[in-house]
Amino acid sequence: MHQYRNYPVYGIAVPGPEKEWHCRGLIFEPEDKVTEIKRLESPDLTFTTKKKAEEHALKLCRTWIDEHKAGVESRVAQSLATAVET
């Protein structure tokens, strides 16, 4: 398990046919660390090694967390700005 911005994340390599690998990223709730909040997969991507698939899965997790946190922070800022205006 890895941590990224307090989220527990897993990069998993899933065996495919003909000695190839697919990636799966799992993101868990920061507070309880057991509740899965997002599963990311790229079924069209294949990798020649297990390590490359795992690394790509972790990259998918980091990207999702960055985008998710940015969206949440943006909505909070908009809510605060609206509250101040009224």
Taking only the tens place, the pLDDT of each residue in 33-61 is 999 999 999 888 999 999 999 999 999 99
The pTM score is 0.80
Domain holding 70, by residue range, is 2-85
- The CA distances from residue 62 to 36, 55, 77, in Å, are 15, 11, 22
Residue found under tokens 């046919």: 17
Q: How confident is the model at residue 62 (pLDDT cuts 50, 70, 90)?
A: very high
- Quote the number of domains for the chain: 1
Give ∠ CA 7-62-59 in degrees, rounded to 5. Answer: 130
